Amino acid sequence: MLASKVFLLFILIVISLFYVRAKQNECTIKVEKIVTYKGKCVRLFGGQSACQSDGYLDPLNSECTGVSKD
């Protein structure tokens, strides 16, 4: 008797899960891709250091904090 009640409860849970999944709307997940480029540390106008690559500039790059004033 108890086994049949547990089995019936299991079947009801499985059916409800399929029903909930069928009723859900579709959605998208946005993932930003991080790409690393090699660059050179440069000194900007005003004395701030930055990392510069072909078409990119990172003024907050921690690797360029000790750039000399060449």
Delimit the domains of the chain by residue range: 38-70
Contact assessment for residue 13 and residue 21, using Cβ atoms and an 8 Å cutoff? no
> CA 70, 36, 32, 62 torsion: positive or negative?
negative
Please tell me the predicted confidence (pLDDT) of residue 33.
Answer: 94
Q: Is residue 34 a contact partner of residue 20, using CB atoms and an 8 Å limit?
A: no
Angle subtended at Cα 31 by Cα 28 and Cα 20, rounded to the nearest 5 degrees: 30
- Quickly list H helices, 1-70: 2-23
Which tens digit of pLDDT belongs to each residue from 24-54?
778 888 999 999 999 999 999 989 999 999 9
- Structure-token pair, residue 46: 């005003």
Q: What is the mean pLDDT of the chain?
A: 84
**pLDDT (tens digit per residue) in 8-23:** 888 888 887 776 665 6
